[in-house]
Chains A and B, each alone.
Chain A
Amino acid sequence: MKIADRVQQIPPSGIRKFFEIAEEMDDVISLGVGEPDFTAPWAAREAAIESLKDGKTSYTANRGMRELREAIAKRVSVQYDFTYDPDTEVLVTAGASEALDVAFRALVDPGDVVAIAQPSYISYVPGVTFAGGEPLPVPTHEEDDFKLTREVLEANGVADADLLVLCYPNNPTGAIMTESELAEVAAFVREHDLTVLSDEIYADLTYGEEHTSIATFEGLRERTVVFNGFSKAYAMTGLRLGYALAPAKTIGAMNRVHQYSMLSAPTTAQYAALEALESCDGDVIEMRDQYNRRRQFVLSRFEEMGIDCFEAKGAFYVFPECPWEDTDAFAEQLLQEQSVALVPGHVFGESGTGHLRVSYATGLDDLREAMARIEAFLD
């Protein structure tokens, strides 16, 4: 059977090789996991169960349950000084992943250039390629704390791009961008009439600095699609629920793709999400506090080992420099010899080369053991 070119063009994921090794081993402590080790808040799980008991097993409206869209809009209005209209400006999807995919397909024409701030979440480049667009990597560097700056945007030809994808707090670096830093990007975006896809799925997981959305800057709401979801902050990865916020015309276009591919997001998950928004903020804060303590633990251990590690302020990753020249060899040997799994930074784009992604979405006992094993490995 013939496989479509644009699919063949995508190389298999860079973490696959390691995954295959890890599969064969027992006793692996994985710091390679990009999902919470917590279980979804009980209230959300219970709401899902109740909805099933009530027989809520049909499709919902394509855009998602009205109640949930309202709850999302209400939540957002607390953070921004404007609201999204639940009827026309909110789209509920099967994970932020689906929202991203739908956005690429709805907004990118063949040949359109989509600038992607890197290191980045691994799905953006393939997503753009599947939609027929041209991914344009925009490298950020440790010297700038992995933040996007006007110089970087200018130097990489983003002025001529059509779209710009950003993700702060960032997977894999854990970088965040403050309001003033984002303002600079917003100005650039306005000047060059770009569309922004802002993945804010880690928005609730920041340590010290409050999250700012780029959509809140003057003139940006009209040109930005915001992505969010319940996977990270609410530890609901398996429920597959996310959403997009954008002006009505954009959401309408995205919904046109969504309604033919997904019809509607999982109904059970929508009930869980509604409950999560209504009653699970305490759980989010508790999980965030635990992440923060682990973050401090991991950062201080790397410092002790003399491994240079940028002080991540968001998500649940740190992105230390790899002590060896050859990051793949380091990751592979560490896995083979010490059964500790982590991800080479280049998987997230060339600018991640020479780094490692270390997830602290793992209990402290395992983290402590993993760090001890890394230390032993370095000796």
Chain B
Amino acid sequence: MSTRDELLALLLENARYSTEDLARQMGADEAEVTAAIEELEASGLIRGYQAVVDWDRADRERIRALVELNVTLDRETGYDDIADRLVKFPPVKSLRLVSGDYDFALEVEGDSLREVSKFISEKVAPVPEITQTVTHYIMETYKDRGFEMGDGHDDGRLSFSP
């Protein structure tokens, strides 16, 4: 594995590893690691860092929905143009052009059902090229970005074993 790939693998595992920890694990210098991270960020390969949150455990309600979007394109408007408009809205957490029965898969997040549905009906549906929206509210998350949700992973192992 190249240094860059190794670094990416580690950051994907836990973006909060300190440069010191990263360096130890990679058997590299801290300065090297810092430089490599700067390069990854500057080149845009790394776009940001986020926590993976299990909202079911929080007091605060968090509503997420997956929205299927169908669009019609004309001479002036392409997929990118529609996407450019949608990504500007803060409640939009992800937007992907997909193959299959619909065109875009949109992920929306808000504080309440009302807020989310209002956003979809008032901001998304009125976009002229969008011909249909189908909203799926997320009822339960079992895994998110590689992390399993739900019951913590209690280490049920013996504290000593051969």
Contacts and interface: CB of A to CB of B under 8 A. Distances in A.
Contacts of B160: 15, 18-19, 22, 30, 32-33, 341, 343
Interface string A257-295: 000000000000000000000000000000001100110
Contacts of B6: 289
A149 to B, nearest CB: 26
Nearest to A14: B160
Interface in A24-41: 28, 30, 32-35, 37
Given A294-B25, A296-B25, A297-B21, A364 B159 contact: no
B161 interface: yes
Nearest to B155: A37
A121 interface: yes
Contacts of A74: none
Interface string B118-162: 000000000000000000000000000000000000010111111
B159 A300 contact: no
Contacts of B9: 289
Contacts of A365: 14
Contacts of A151: none
A379 interface: no
A123 interface: yes
A33 B157 contact: yes
B10 interface: yes
Interface string B1-31: 1000010011001100100010011110000
A99 B145 CA distance: 40
Interface residues of A, number: 29
A23 interface: yes
Given A289-B9, A293-B26, A296-B26, A368 B159 contact: no
Contacts of B14: 364-365
A364 B21 contact: yes
Given A289-B1, A296-B27, A22 B159 contact: yes
Contacts of A35: 157, 161
B7 to A, nearest CB: 11
Contact of B161 (A34, A289, A294, A300): A34
A296 B1 CA distance: 16
A364 B17 contact: yes
A290 B14 CA distance: 12
A285 to B, nearest CB: 10
A37 B156 CA distance: 10
A223 interface: no
A222 B25 CA distance: 42
Contacts of A293: 10, 25-26
Contacts of A289: 1, 6, 9
Nearest to A348: B162
Contacts of A256: none
B26 A32 contact: no
A343 B162 CA distance: 10
A72 to B, nearest CB: 23
A28 B162 CA distance: 18
Contacts of B158: 19, 33
Contact of B159 (A37, A121, A341): A341
Nearest to B157: A33
A300 to B, nearest CB: 5
19 contacts: A15-B160, A18-B160, A28-B159, A32-B160, A33-B157, A33-B158, A33-B159, A34-B162, A35-B161, A121-B162, A122-B162, A289-B9, A290-B13, A293-B10, A294-B25, A296-B25, A297-B25, A343-B160, A368-B21
- In the A-B complex, the 7 residue pairs with the closest CB atoms: A293-B25, A22-B159, A32-B160, A30-B159, A297-B24, A15-B160, A19-B160
Interface of A: 15, 18-19, 22-23, 28, 30, 32-35, 37, 121-123, 171, 289-290, 293-294, 296-297, 300-301, 341, 343, 364-365, 368
Given A30-B159, A364-B14, 4 more contacts: A33-B157, A33-B160, A37-B157, A341-B159
